[in-house]
Structure 1
Amino acid sequence: MMMDLSAQMMQATVQLEQPLGDGTRTVGTGFLITETTADGKPHTILVTANHVFDKMPGANARVGYRIANADGSWSYSPQSLKIRDAQGHALWTHHPTRDVAAIAITAPATFAKAAIPEDYLAQDDTFSKYDVTSGDQMMTLGFPRGLAANSAGFPILRAGRVASYPIAPAKIFPTFLLDFSVFPGNSGGPVFMSGPSRHALDANGQGGQDVEFIAGLLTQQVELNSERLDIGIVTNARFIRETIALIKDPGAPVTEVAADEGSISGAKAASAEEAARPE
């Protein structure tokens, strides 16, 4: 039985922030993945865009956890996460060629339970298996300009259509375009498919097979001559998998990208560097 990935991603996605001491803050989005270690124990990994952490100069970030109360309400309860050591060196792992970061964390029990199994990250054949192509709708979660959906700190769900072709294989097309309005604060948010596919057939050969997978993460918005084009750049989930593997083994193999066909002139990182704190 497949999980309701949309609802689960809501639970697993968090705001990342670091106050800059002048009433402003750097803001981005992250989400939790769980993997099983060699000894069979679950391991919680926080995934985001590398530039989100890289633009945070301090040693500690804040992770926007949420607590469910007995009366059905929620409380926003951010907790500190150490991202740099005393010498200022990064404690997270980043992909050597892609804008992806991951760090092992100890999350509150409810959040560790909400983390998405690593198996939901798209594999090399996922796009072809489900005939994912231009025009297909994907969803993404984030905190545009540091704004949450409510006082509990849940992310804002947006949707857009795949706006480029082709989008696979990842070793040739490591990124693809998504047609939706991107704002500072969206960087690092998950991009996923959840629901019936336009193309994939079910066991009876009928259309509309349910598809549930994480396609990648939002890393940039596209600008041309300082004008936002309402297009997001998504980094393929393959590079999330590789970054997680590097946590366990810094010598793990990574994809040698033959030609970055997905690169866009004028692309701009979408983390909210020095974003004003919303009222």
Structure 2
Amino acid sequence: MPKCTTGYDIYLVTNKHVLQNKDNSSKNEVRLLFNSIDNKQQVFRPLKLVEGNPSLPIWTGHTDSIVDIAIIKLNDLQLSGVIYDYFKSDKEAFNAEEFKKNVSEGDDVDILGFPYGFIGAGYKKYVILKNGVVSRIQDLFEEKSIDFLVDAFIFPGNSGSPVILRPKSGHKTKSNSQYKLIGVAKGHRYFDDAIVGKEVMGLCIVESVNRIFEAIERTEKVKGENDLEIMNK
């Protein structure tokens, strides 16, 4: 796909489970929803998940089958005539070293998304912001876990929602002067009890920004190769 005129390659980041099986369905597409550039109406952009001959998915999954991240590279045509923004990898997201150095339990985060498909007014759409706190992340840094936990309720529709570290300062905490992307939501943590059954614990499971960059790097390496098996794991 052509490089965007912004000077950045722009990627749509979501979860594998959002796209899996859709590329084998009769429609094999998703719809991207934007506000029009005059900010007066909504704009739907259909996006085929399979194209070419032989038919191959346009999305790439993280090479680790248990990491729930999928990447689609976007171009100027898909983004023309609409309002959009993106996280700049060199300014608004931590690299691996910064991530480990600047994020810890107790840090405040924002989660952006559309829980239960709630998108508000009919003529244009605004994202829903939810607040949370990093609940457990040391397991990730010690490589005992592939993800981390945020104390926040999320709902269907929040899959792939960006998780953003809020600015913080203080002599007892590590300082961070601006908002930074630290991951994407992928699901709930459940409490399974033989008597009361399965209940949501109010903990959001998050794939880290490190995994996002790994998946993007893999997207650039694959470049349309027949990688269907790994993409759909």
> Which residue of structure 1 lines up, in the alignment, with residue 220 of structure 2?
248
Counterpart selection for 2:191 from 221, 224, 238: 224
* Paired position in structure 2 for 1:6: none
Q: In structure 2, what is the Cα distance between the partners aligned to 1:241 and 1:173?
A: 17
More helix by share: 2
Aligned alpha-carbon RMSD (Å): 2.6
Measured at CA, do residues 143 and 174 of structure 1 come closer, stay the same or move farther in structure 2, by a change above 3 Å?
same
For residue 66 of structure 1, report the CA deviation from its aligned partner: 1.0
Q: 1:197 to 1:221 in 2, by over 3 A?
A: farther
Q: Contact 1:127–1:133 at 8 Å: present in 2 too?
A: no
Q: CA deviation at 1:149?
A: 4.4
Structure 2 residue 18 is matched with structure 1 residue 52:
yes
What letter matches 2:222 in structure 1? P
Instruction: Indicate the residue corresponding to 1:190 in structure 2.
Output: 162
1:193 is displaced (CA, Å) by 1.2
* Alignment check: 8 A CA contact 2:30 2:47 kept: yes
Taking the TM superposition and a 5 Å limit, the aligned residue runs for 1:161-180 are 161-166=133-138, 168-169=140-141, 171-180=143-152
Distance 2:21 2:153 in 1: 22
Q: Which residue of 2 aligns with 1:140?
A: 111
Query: Deviating runs (4+, > 6 A) in structure 1?
Result: none
Write the distance in 2 (CA, Å) between the matches of 1:113 and 1:170. 36
- Pick one of 174, 187, 199 that aligns with 1:200: 174
Whether the 8 Å CA contact 2:188–2:200 is kept in 1: the answer is yes
Aligned to 2:31: 62
Q: Give the alignment's TM-score, normalised by structure 2.
A: 0.77
Cross-structure match for 2:96: 124
Match of 1:118, SS state, is coil
Identical counterparts, % of pairs: 24
Q: 1:155 to 1:91 in 2, by over 3 A?
A: same
Q: 5+ residue gaps in structure 1? A: 1-35, 202-208, 252-279
Moved more, 54-63 or 181-190: 54-63
